[in-house]
Amino acid sequence: MPNPKRRHSQQRSAKRRTHYKAVAATLTTDKATGETHVRHRAHVSEGKLYYKGQVVAETSPIKK
């Protein structure tokens, strides 16, 4: 198996790492509820699960 003949410099490693960036999540406002949420993700509002402006599921109260 081939091995490097010389050690790579720190500058060379840093050049490779410069392209990794933290990106803030894109937020949008739901038309049905008016709440802000992460795009392309379901979100809960008033006990209901919404996705693409439609109710996907409703949570029922827990009975003891």
pLDDT digits (tens, 9 = 90+) for 24-55: 889 999 887 888 999 999 998 888 899 888 88
pLDDT grade for 15, boundaries at 50, 70 and 90: confident
Environment class of 36 (CB within 10 Å of its CB; exposed 0-12, middle 13-18, buried 19+): exposed
Strand partners, 54: 51
Q: Is the pLDDT of residue 61 over 70?
A: no
